[in-house]
Structure formats: C-alpha cells, structure tokens
Amino acid sequence: MTRAFLIVLDSAGIGGAPDAGRFFNGTQPDTGANTLAHIAQACADGRAGAGRSGPLRLPNLDRLGLGAAIALASGDAAPGLGCAPQGLWGAATEVSPGKDTPSGHWELAGVPVPWDWHYFPDTQPAFPPDLSAAVARAAGTDGILGNCHASGTEIVARLGEEHLRSGWPICYTSADSVFQIAAHEQAFGLDRLLDLCRAVAPMLHDMRVGRVIARPFTGAPGQFTRTSNRRDFAIAPPSPTLCDWISGAGGTVHGVGKIGDIFSMQGIFDTVKGSDAELMGDLSRLVDGAEDGSLTFANFVEFDSLYGHRRDVSGYARHLEWADAELGALIARLRPGDLMLITADHGNDPTWIGTDHTRERVPVLGAGVGVRAVGQVGFADIAASIAAHLGVPSQGPGKSFL
C-alpha cells in the first residue's frame, strides 16, 4: 500500500500564465508577475533584508527541481535556485476563470470551475441593498458597517471601535469573490458570528460568490488583533473531487489548514486548523502516522495572507526558507511507496502593484518517485496522478503524469 501527501504553499506562483493579461491588479494586467522568481531576485539584490539576509535559500525545494520549474514556466531566472533536479518537477497551468483559493484548490483536486465567479464592485457601497438588509436581519442589527473593499486589518482598526459601540457587523470584500464579516469575539460573540455567516452563505452562494468568511478579532481600540478562529463557508464543489474519489474507494482524507472549509468537508475525514507553524507540526505527525491508502491534503496560507497581500517581500522570503527546512525534514521521513507533491493554487507576487493575487503557473515538485521531469501539466493532472498513485479511479479531466 502507499500514501499520498499534497502540500499547497498558498500563492507560491512561478509566473508564465498564458492568460495573465486577462487578470488585473487595479488597471495593470498580471502579465510578467512571478512570485518566486521576483522574491529570489529581490533577495539577491539586497532588497529583502528584514529579518534575513543574502540570496534566497531553498535547498530542499530546489533539489526537487524548483529552479528548473520556474525556468520552465516563465523563462525567468531565480538567483540561488539552480540545482540539477533530483525529484519530480514541472509546472502546472490553471484553466478555471479565477485566481482565487477555491478555483485553484478545486482544480488541483480534479474539478475545474465551470462558471464565472461574482465579484463586488470597488465602490461604496459595494453590496446591493437587499444583501446588506439580509445580513443585518440575520445579525439582529439595524445595519452593517463597512460595505466596501478593504484590507481586513485596516478595516478592523478603522471601524472596530464603532463596531463595539453599535454592535453592527463589519462587512467588506476584496478583489476575490468573497464576502467577509468581522466581529469581536467577546462583544459580538464567536458563535454568533459563525451562525451569521452560516445563515447568509446560501444567499451569497446563489450569487456565485465563492466564500463567506468569518473574521473574528479581539482586543481594544488601537490594539485589535484578528484571531485564528477564521472560518470559510465556501460554495460546494460542482462535482466529486479527489477527496470524494479517495473516500468513496474506502481511503481516508486528512485535511490540514483550511482544506475542510474549501471543500465544505466533502470527502474529508478530519481536519485541523491553526497557524502555519502549528499546521506543520500536524503534517509532521501525519507523515509519521497516516494510514496506508490515505491522502493528507495541506494548505499553508500565511505565504498569501501575511506576506503576499501585504506585499512583504522579506516576510515572504523568510516564510519560504522556514517551510523549505521543515519540508526537507519531512521528505527525509517518507516511507517507501509514499508520494509527496508540493504545489500552489495561484500567485501573489509581493513585488507587484496592488494587493490582489496574480495569475501565474505553479510549481509541481515531487518526492518518492525518483527523478522525473513531467513538463507542462494542468492543475487537474495533479489529482489524476495522486489517484493513480493510490490506485483510485480518476473521475476528472486530468491525466496522470506518473
């Protein structure tokens, strides 16, 4: 028997998406964005020295073939990443019409998105009156705060005190297809916030809004802090995913990070949440203890949430170097017959204009199957390959590269 581990380094794109010109940050198309290559270039040029120094050091990922994957995807040079590949390596291209979390993860799991997502306009108010009224009704308040595009930390700092005074939920969106509700864990109540998001999610999903996100925070004015009790209420995938294929065949799927939320727990046996550091510990325990025939599906979101959106090049580089060391230790503990694939769901180039994701190809790096160049593949091919490795029939459009 064998096991599989699918690790998503959220937003760690490698440039080169052929349709990047159709996706924008503000008025600038994403053409030329390259998350990992541009971070490596910034490190080599001495422009990423906060909390670290020197060239980008990712020896374990580069040993698998990261530098070669970047060159394959985009033709860009990534200083410091030039090892001859010793693992499975390639680059994957997305076909779903979005550069967001659900689109990327669903397609990695074998189900490209068959519709266009709904996005709210960057106006104030951003939401139609009937939606705002429905949220207020569900919250038991006379109205909502925010009603705009905003950064989560910025809007909580700006409206948190008014939220405490009025009791109204803070509602905002971004360039993604999301509706986010922030509320104070104690004053508003965490359970009340989750119940509110759960109540309004069907209305948002009917609009083809991908996720309703609960954004709890604590603290006092001037010291508000978002907590780790975030919860995503995502629209359900339109057809069975890799998780369903495996569970339907009698295998077990373990979710690490926000995987359970992204897939509405469909086909997933259990899930753990927490900071990336905590999740790496959970992944480590599953590398040592997951059952034969299982898939462990992990997402490490802080590349995206803490560093990509905030355009923090040094922070992103530090987090990559931390993850490289941690993953190197896990790769060394894989059992004979195991497969570990490391990839991403989209880009979020911290050197780029704006604060939104960037449309990019993603790396496909693998340990456990020897040296193998798989070339340019599709996101859905990753699902087909894991299914083939576990001996489970693939039900999606992808083709195995194993």
pLDDT at 256: 98
Residue 36 has a pLDDT of: 98
Q: Which CATH superfamily, name and number, covers 3-114+238-390?
A: Alkaline Phosphatase, subunit A (3.40.720.10)
Strand partners of residue 343? 8
Whether 118 has a binding-site annotation, put simply, is no
pLDDT of residue 38: 98
pLDDT of residue 50: 97
Return the pLDDT at 29.
98
Residue 357 among known ligand-binding residues: yes
Residue spans per domain, the chain = 3-114+238-390, 129-234
Global confidence as pTM: 0.93
With respect to CATH, is domain 129-234 assigned 3.30.70.1250? yes
Q: Is 309 labelled as part of a ligand binding site? A: yes
Determine whether 18 is exposed, middle or buried from the number of CB atoms within 10 Å of its CB (0-12, 13-18, 19+).
Answer: exposed
Question: Is 304 annotated to bind ligand?
Answer: yes
Give the Cα separation of 329 and 386 in Å (integer). Answer: 22
pLDDT by position in tens, the chain (length 402): 699 999 999 999 999 999 999 999 989 999 999 999 999 999 999 999 999 999 999 999 999 999 999 999 999 999 999 999 999 999 999 999 999 999 999 999 999 999 999 999 999 999 999 999 999 999 999 999 999 999 898 999 999 999 999 999 999 999 889 999 999 999 999 999 999 999 999 999 999 999 999 999 999 999 999 998 999 999 999 999 999 999 999 999 999 999 999 999 999 999 999 999 999 999 999 999 999 999 999 999 999 999 999 999 999 999 999 999 999 999 999 999 999 999 999 999 999 999 999 999 999 999 999 999 999 999 999 999 999 999 999 999 999 999
Residue 350 in contact with residue 43, Cβ under 8 Å?
A: no
45 is in an annotated binding site: no
345 is in an annotated binding site: yes
